[in-house]
């Protein structure tokens, strides 16, 4: 799940943080770094140079992957439909594997993992069980995977960093399979 709102919040946070304007150990002011991020320019990292778009993609993919695993666990525990439980387990397995690869890429590129946090969708699902949970979860997974597939296709074509491009291209078929699978779930047809 990649959240455009999260990207916007991140951009606003970077600007607000940059306004504290002290310098890092390289002597570059934080306001100068924020200006580079927001202008779409490249950002030097220990693993090379990332554009702000590549950095944002990595950060959003980490957040989204974690959320997919957390909601997958909820599905395994709360769903009434065995197919939804099975899909939840698939989310745990596949996204945990992708998360491990992405976190290694993030470390290599000098991108700090975002803090662990529950998202609004997890909070919404927290009080649901049975059919109500199944319908809401499947609907969320459909919308999330439609967005994810589009974003990963874009990054697989146009990411500036070759490692980011390769990660997106490698992960895309799994996300496409998830999208097709979620479309076939009976709970989606009941809604």
Strand runs (DSSP E) across the chain, as ranges?
42-45, 48-51
pLDDT tens across 8-23, in order? 333 333 333 333 333 3
Q: Is residue 135 part of a domain?
A: yes
What's the chain's average pLDDT? Answer: 79
Statement: residue 25 has pLDDT above 60? no
Range of the domain at 150: 51-190
Is residue 181 assigned to a domain? Answer: yes
- Measured CA to CA, the distance from residue 166 to residue 162 in angstroms comes to 6
Would 32 be classed as within a structural domain?
no
- Inside any domain, residue 44: no
Q: Is residue 144 part of a domain?
A: yes
Q: pLDDT digit string (tens) for 52-96? A: 999 999 999 999 999 999 999 999 999 999 999 999 999 999 999
Closest CA to 131 of 84, 171, 89: 84
Dist. CA 16–CA 114, nearest whole Å: 17
Please check whether residue 170 lies inside any domain of the structure: yes
How many structural domains does the chain have?
1
Q: Is residue 5 part of a domain?
A: no
Residue 30 has pLDDT above 70, yes or no: no
CATH code at 96? Answer: 1.20.1260.10
Would residue 62 count as lying in a domain? yes
């Amino acid at each position: 799940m990649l959240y455009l709102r999260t990207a916007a919040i991140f951009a606003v946070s970077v600007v607000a943080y940059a306004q504290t304007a002290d310098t890092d150990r390289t002597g570059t002011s934080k306001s100068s770094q924020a200006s580079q991020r927001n202008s779409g320019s490249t950002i030097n990292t220990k693993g090379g140079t990332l554009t702000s778009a590549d950095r944002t993609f990595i950060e959003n993919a980490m957040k989204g992957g974690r959320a997919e695993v957390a909601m997958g666990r909820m599905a395994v525990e709360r769903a009434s439909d065995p197919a939804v439980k099975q899909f939840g387990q698939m989310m745990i397995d596949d996204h945990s594997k992708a998360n491990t690869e992405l976190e290694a890429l993030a470390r290599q590129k000098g991108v700090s993992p975002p803090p662990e946090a529950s998202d609004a969708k997890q909070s919404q699902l927290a009080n649901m069980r049975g059919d109500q949970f199944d319908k809401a979860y499947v609907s969320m997974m459909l919308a999330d995977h439609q967005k994810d597939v589009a974003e990963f296709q874009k990054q697989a074509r146009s990411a500036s960093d070759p490692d980011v491009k390769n990660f997106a291209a490698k992960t895309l078929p799994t996300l496409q399979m998830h999208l097709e699978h979620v479309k076939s779930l009976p709970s989606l047809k009941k809604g």
